[in-house]
Structure 1
Amino acid sequence: MAISLSANVRNNLTSLQSITAQAAAVQNRLATGKKVNTAVDNPVNYFTAQSLNSRSDALKGLLDGMSNGIQTIQAASKGIDGITKLVNSMQSTIKQAQSDAAQNRPTATGTALVSTAEKIATNKSLKDIALDKAIVNDNGADADAATASYAGNIGVAAPAAGTAGKMLAISIKAGDNAYEATFNAANMTVRDVVNEINKSGIATAFVDEKGQFNVKGTGSETLQFGFGAADITAANPAAPTDTELETARTAALTNSKDNDATTPLNSNAALGLASNSYDVGTTASNVTSAVRSNLIQQFNDLRTQIDELAKDSSFNGINLLAGDQLSIAFNEKTGANQSKMNIQGSVVTAENLGISQAVNTQIDGLFNFQNDNDLGKASDALNSALTSLKSLSSTFGAQLSVANTRQDFTKGLADTLTVGADNLVNADANEEAANLLSLQTRQQLSQTALSLASQSDQAVLRLF
Structure 2
Amino acid sequence: MANGIVLSSSVRTNLLSLQDTTTQQGIVQNRLATGKKVISALDNPTNFFTSAGLTQRANDLAALLDGISNGVKTLEAASNGATSITKVIESMQANVRQARQDKSFKGTSFTLDTLNMGSFTGKTLSFSGGSIGTTPVTIDAIVADIGGSRTSQSTTAAYAPPATAAKATYTAENTYAAPGTAQALDLTFNGVTTSVSVAPADTTVGAAVSSINAQLAAAGRTDIEAFNAGGNLQIRTTANVDGSVTVAGAGETAIFGAQVSAPGSDGLHSFSVNGTQVTLTPGQVTVGQAVAKANADLGPTHAFEAFDDGGKLGFRAKSAGVTALSISNTAGSTAAGMFDAAVAGTAPTTPGRVRTVDELATAINEHPSLVGKVRASLDGGKLRIENLSTTEMTIAGASATGINGGAGASNTTTIGGNEIRKNLITQFNDLRDQLDKIAGDAGFNGVNILRGDKLRVVFNERGTSSIDVEAKNKTGLSGVSTASNSLNISAVTEEEYSNDELLDARLNALKESMTTLQAQSSQLGANLSVVQIRQDFTKHMITTLQTGSDFLVNADMNEEGANLLALNTRQQLSQTALSLASQADQAVLRLFG
d(CA) in 1 for partners of 2:370 and 2:419?
26
Matches within 5 A, 1:293-308: 293-308=422-437
**What secondary structure, in the 3-state scheme, does the structure 2 residue paired with 1:327 have?**
strand
Match of 1:329?
458
Which of 555, 563, 569 is matched with 1:427 structurally? Answer: 555
1:354 aligns with 2:488: yes
d(CA) in 2 for partners of 1:44 and 1:339?
29
Q: CA deviation at 1:434?
A: 0.6
Conserved 8 A contact 1:49-1:422: yes
d(CA) in 2 for partners of 1:283 and 1:418?
76
Conserved 8 A contact 1:102-1:372: no
Q: CA deviation at 1:280?
A: 7.3
* Pairwise CA RMSD: 2.3
Which of 538, 561, 564 is matched with 1:410 structurally? Answer: 538
Q: CA deviation at 1:406?
A: 0.2
Question: Under a length normalisation based on structure 1, what TM-score does the superposition of the two structures give?
Answer: 0.60
Q: CA deviation at 1:386?
A: 1.1
Matches within 5 A, 1:188-207: none
**What secondary structure, in the 3-state scheme, does the structure 2 residue paired with 1:369 have?**
helix
Match of 2:256?
none
Conserved 8 A contact 1:103-1:370: no
Match of 1:442?
570
d(CA) in 2 for partners of 1:90 and 1:323?
23
Q: CA deviation at 1:2?
A: 2.1
Indicate how the Cα distance of structure 1 residues 282 and 309 shifts in structure 2: closer, same or farther if over 3 A, else same: closer
Conserved 8 A contact 1:104-1:370: no
Q: Which amino acid aligns with 2:468?
A: N
**What secondary structure, in the 3-state scheme, does the structure 2 residue paired with 1:5 have?**
coil
Q: Which amino acid aligns with 2:46?
A: V
d(CA) in 2 for partners of 1:344 and 1:2?
86
**What secondary structure, in the 3-state scheme, does the structure 2 residue paired with 1:315 have?**
coil
Q: Which amino acid aligns with 1:63?
A: L
- Give structure 2 stretches of 5+ with no counterpart: 108-317, 320-357, 375-392, 394-414
d(CA) in 1 for partners of 2:530 and 2:15?
67
Q: Which amino acid aligns with 2:373?
A: A
1:340 aligns with 2:466: yes
**What secondary structure, in the 3-state scheme, does the structure 2 residue paired with 1:316 have?**
coil
Which of 42, 45, 54 is matched with 1:40 structurally? Answer: 42
Q: Which amino acid aligns with 2:522?
A: S
Indicate how the Cα distance of structure 1 residues 446 and 3 shifts in structure 2: closer, same or farther if over 3 A, else same: same
Match of 2:150?
none
Match of 1:92?
94
Match of 2:300?
none
Match of 2:58?
56
Matches within 5 A, 1:5-404: 5-101=7-103, 103=105, 282=371, 284-285=373-374, 286=393, 288-334=417-463, 338-345=464-471, 346=473, 347-349=476-478, 350-351=480-481, 352=485, 353-361=487-495, 368-404=496-532
Indicate how the Cα distance of structure 1 residues 297 and 8 shifts in structure 2: closer, same or farther if over 3 A, else same: same
Conserved 8 A contact 1:104-1:284: no
Q: Which amino acid aligns with 1:379?
A: L
Deviations 1:137-190 (A, max 9, x none): xxxxxxxxxxxxxxxxxxxxxxxxxxxxxxxxxxxxxxxxxxxxxxxxxxxxxx
Q: Which amino acid aligns with 2:534?
A: R
**What secondary structure, in the 3-state scheme, does the structure 1 residue paired with 2:449 have?**
coil
Conserved 8 A contact 2:104-2:420: no
Indicate how the Cα distance of structure 1 residues 279 and 388 shifts in structure 2: closer, same or farther if over 3 A, else same: closer
Indicate how the Cα distance of structure 1 residues 431 and 279 shifts in structure 2: closer, same or farther if over 3 A, else same: closer
d(CA) in 2 for partners of 1:18 and 1:448?
15
Match of 1:195?
none
Q: Which amino acid aligns with 1:357?
A: A
Q: CA deviation at 1:359?
A: 1.5
Q: Which amino acid aligns with 2:425?
A: I
d(CA) in 2 for partners of 1:339 and 1:413?
15
d(CA) in 1 for partners of 2:370 and 2:427?
33
Indicate how the Cα distance of structure 1 residues 393 and 410 shifts in structure 2: closer, same or farther if over 3 A, else same: same
d(CA) in 2 for partners of 1:29 and 1:4?
37
- Larger strand fraction of residues: 2
d(CA) in 2 for partners of 1:280 and 1:295?
25
**What secondary structure, in the 3-state scheme, does the structure 2 residue paired with 1:324 have?**
coil
d(CA) in 1 for partners of 2:515 and 2:421?
26
Q: Which amino acid aligns with 1:87?
A: I
d(CA) in 2 for partners of 1:408 and 1:77?
20
Conserved 8 A contact 2:372-2:499: no
Deviations 1:324-346 (A, max 9, x none): 00000000004xxx110011234
Q: Which amino acid aligns with 2:477?
A: V
Conserved 8 A contact 1:78-1:313: yes
Deviations 1:360-397 (A, max 9, x none): 13xxxxxx101101111111111111111111110000
d(CA) in 1 for partners of 2:426 and 2:368?
36
d(CA) in 2 for partners of 1:33 and 1:358?
73
**What secondary structure, in the 3-state scheme, does the structure 1 residue paired with 2:457 have?**
strand
d(CA) in 2 for partners of 1:33 and 1:282?
92
Deviations 1:176-228 (A, max 9, x none): xxxxxxxxxxxxxxxxxxxxxxxxxxxxxxxxxxxxxxxxxxxxxxxxxxxxx
Conserved 8 A contact 2:86-2:514: yes
Q: Which amino acid aligns with 1:296?
A: I
Question: Under a length normalisation based on structure 2, what TM-score does the superposition of the two structures give?
Answer: 0.47
Indicate how the Cα distance of structure 1 residues 281 and 86 shifts in structure 2: closer, same or farther if over 3 A, else same: closer
| Structure 1 range deviating more: 279-288 or 419-428 | 279-288
- Give structure 1 stretches of 5+ with no counterpart: 106-260, 263-270, 362-367
Indicate how the Cα distance of structure 1 residues 10 and 86 shifts in structure 2: closer, same or farther if over 3 A, else same: same
Q: Which amino acid aligns with 1:424?
A: L
